[in-house]
């Protein structure tokens, strides 16, 4: 992967989900992540909300608009 957790609130991107994961990074809170292959070929791992994480599967397309949360396309 080229970047990990490096997307900012002002960034915009679009891509296809290549993996899903979750973990208790701080020992008490569950965090949900998806790996996304962007349209330019780069891969990023981004944190998403639990409802979005539960609603997507590998192969689904998701988008992120500036100052918005990622959503299923």
Distance CA 28, CA 72 (A): 27
Indicate the length of the chain as a whole number. Answer: 73
Task: Give the bridge partners for 14, in sequence order.
Answer: 63
Confidence of residue 27 (pLDDT cuts 50, 70, 90): confident
- The pLDDT tens digits for 9-25 are 788 999 999 999 999 98
| The pLDDT value given to residue 6 | 58
| The pLDDT value given to residue 19 | 97
- The pLDDT tens digits for 28-73 are 999 999 999 999 999 999 999 999 999 999 999 999 999 999 999 8
For 29, counting Cβ atoms within 10 Å of its Cβ (0-12 exposed, 13-18 middle, 19+ buried), the class is exposed
């Amino acid at each position: 992967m080229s970047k990990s957790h490096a997307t900012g609130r002002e960034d915009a991107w679009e891509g296809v989900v290549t993996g899903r994961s979750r973990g208790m990074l701080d020992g008490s809170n569950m965090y949900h992540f998806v790996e996304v292959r962007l349209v330019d070929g780069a891969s990023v791992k981004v944190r998403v909300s639990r409802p979005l994480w539960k609603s997507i599967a590998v192969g689904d397309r998701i988008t992120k608009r500036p100052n918005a949360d990622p959503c299923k396309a």
